[in-house]
Amino acid sequence: MRVDVTIYHNPHCSKSRETLQLLRDQGVEPAVIEYLKNPPGKRQLKKILSLLGMSPRELMRTKEVVYKEAGLDNPNLSRDALITTMIEYPILIERPIVLANGKAALGRPPERILEIL
């Protein structure tokens, strides 16, 4: 059975490269979305968060400079405000994210994605 797999990928990230290679080692050639160039839209990011069972903050890279500069550590920010900021600054989105079989997994560590294949 053929499985459609998508990876939100950053080629400069070692975990993202390892996850992509792991998929290929499993015989899967995923659709590769370089999310820094083509960030997900609001609807897609909400879907990804739902599939991951995460809040926006849980999927954010809180050590990025823009996190502090944009005041994202403010606990009063709404879910929608955080999602909008993640789309505006996709560097904030943790990676890699793999979608397959109506499920999602964060490839940290890369082996976690095997659970959804």
Q: What is the CATH number of domain 1-35+95-117?
A: 3.40.30.10
pLDDT value of position 1: 42
- What is the reported pLDDT for 3? 72
**pLDDT, position 46:** 98
The secondary structure element, H or E, covering residue 39 is: none
Separation between Cα atoms, residue 92 and residue 100, nearest integer Å:
22
40-93 CATH, one of 3.30.230.70, 3.40.1280.10, 3.40.30.10, 3.40.50.300:
3.40.30.10
Query: What amino acid occupies position 65?
Result: V
Do residues 39 and 12 make contact, with C-beta atoms less than 8 angstroms apart? no
Catalytic positions: 13
Residue range(s) in the chain whose domain bears CATH number 3.40.30.10: 1-35+95-117, 40-93
Per-residue pLDDT tens digits of the chain, which is 117 residues long? 457 999 999 999 999 999 999 999 999 999 999 999 999 999 999 999 999 999 999 999 999 999 999 999 999 999 999 999 999 999 999 999 999 999 999 999 999 999 999
Look up the pTM and report it. Answer: 0.94
DSSP E strand stretches across 22-74:
31-34
Partner residues linked to 9 by β-bridges: 34
Residue type, 44: Q
Instruction: Report whether 85 contacts 92 (CB < 8 A).
Output: yes
Give residue for tokens 């499985």. 3
Torsion of CA 21, 89, 74, 76, to 10 degrees: -100
